[in-house]
Amino acid sequence: MKKVSLSLLTASVAVSAMLTLPHAPMIQAKEETLNDQVQELSRGTSWEKLDQIDLQFDVFHPQGMTKVGDLYFMSSVEIIEGTTRYEQPIDGYDRSPGKGKGHLFVFNEQGELLEDIELGEGDMYHPGGIDYDGKFIWVPVAEYRPNSESIVYKVNAETLEVEEAFRADDHIGGIVKNDKSQKLHGVSWGSRLFYEWNHKGKQLNVEDNPSHFVDYQDCESTGNGQMICSGITNLPNPANNNSFQLGGLALLDLKNNDILHEVPVTELSPKGNVITRNPVFLEKAEEEIKLYAVPDDDDASLLIYQTTNLSK
C-alpha cells in the first residue's frame, strides 16, 4: 500500500475544504440610522426647503404629526373659548379650563383632508405630540392647563378605530412607545417632566427634564430605544419688546432620559414662525434627513425640508 505523507494529506484536506465550503461573507459597513444622522446635526447644518403643500382645511392649532406610508396624521386643538389666568390658584389650577375640541386629522400628499377624528372628553380637549408604533397612533388629550389631567388614546392607523388606553393625572403634552421595552413615555406641560408607564398605563417613573434648551412640542420614537423631540422656547427681545422663537431638536435615550444630542433650528415659516413651533416629523432620506413641519395655525401649509450637507 502506497503511503501518503502527512503534509500532502493536510494540504489536500485544506484545498478540498476551500472548494466545498461557501465563501465567507464580506464584512459590510454598518448602515447609518436616522438616530446617527441626527447626531451629525449642528448649528452649521443647512436645511433646504423642498416643497410647500397648502393644506385644504383649517388646521386650527396643530400639535403632533406622524407619517404612515403616503398619509399624514396630525393632532390639533380647536379653541372655542380661551383659558383665563386666575389672580390666585383655584383648586390647584392657575387658569380656567376654556373650551375646545381635539382633532386627529388624516390628510394626503396633496393636502386634502381625508378624515377628522374628534378626541377628548369634557375639559380634556387639547391633543399633544403623537407617535406611530407600526399599528397604532398614540395620542394624549389633556386639559389646556398645567398640572391637570389627560386621556391617552390609541388609534388604529388602518381602521381608524379609537380606543382609550389609560388616563394620567397631569397634562401630557406628548407620548411615544419604546420599541425595545414596549413601555410608554410622555412629557408634561412644557416638557418639564418625563413620565414612564407600562403597556397597561401603570405609572412606573416620573423625573425632571434636565434640559432647559427648548420645550418639546412633538416627540417620535425612532428605534433602538430612542426618541427625537422638537420644540421651541420664546426668548425676550428687549430691542422691540417682542419675543424671539428659538427652535430645536433633541435626541434622547428612553432608558434613562439621557439627552444624546441637541441642536438649534432657526428656519422660519411663511408667517414668521420657527419651523419646529408645532408638529414635526423626521425621516431618513438616504444620506440626508427629511423634515416635515406645520408651524403655522389655521390657514397653513405642510413644509418639507432636507439637510444638504450631512454627507459632506
pLDDT per position as a tens digit, 136-150: 999 999 999 999 999
DSSP-derived letter for residue 246 is E
| Residue 37, CA distances (Å) to 52, 226, 283, 288, 305 in order | 24, 13, 10, 7, 15
Q: Please give the chain's pLDDT, 312 residues, in tens.
A: 333 343 433 444 343 444 444 445 555 557 899 999 999 999 999 999 999 999 999 999 999 999 999 999 999 999 999 999 999 999 999 999 999 999 999 999 999 999 999 999 999 999 999 999 999 999 999 999 999 999 999 999 999 999 999 999 999 999 999 999 999 999 999 999 999 999 899 999 999 999 999 999 999 999 999 999 999 999 888 777 788 899 999 999 999 999 999 999 999 999 999 999 999 999 999 999 999 999 999 999 999 999 987 755
When computed from its CA atoms, the radius of gyration of the chain, rounded to whole angstroms, is 25
pLDDT score of 244: 86
pLDDT score of 250: 97
Q: Give the chain's end-to-end CA distance (angstroms, integer).
A: 69
pLDDT score of 242: 81
Q: Is 30 helix (H, G, I), strand (E, B) or coil?
A: coil
Q: Rounded to whole angstroms, how far apart are CA atoms 177 and 187?
A: 12
Q: Rounded to whole angstroms, how far apart are CA atoms 277 and 266?
A: 10
pLDDT score of 265: 96
* 253 touches 100 (CB < 8 A): no
* 227 touches 38 (CB < 8 A): no
Q: Cα 275 from chain centroid?
A: 14
Helix (H) or strand (E) holding 80: strand 71-81
Q: Rounded to whole angstroms, how far apart are CA atoms 35 and 43?
A: 17
pTM of the model: 0.88
pLDDT score of 311: 57
Q: Rounded to whole angstroms, how far apart are CA atoms 146 and 151?
A: 14
The single-letter code of the amino acid at 63 is Q
The single-letter code of the amino acid at 270 is P
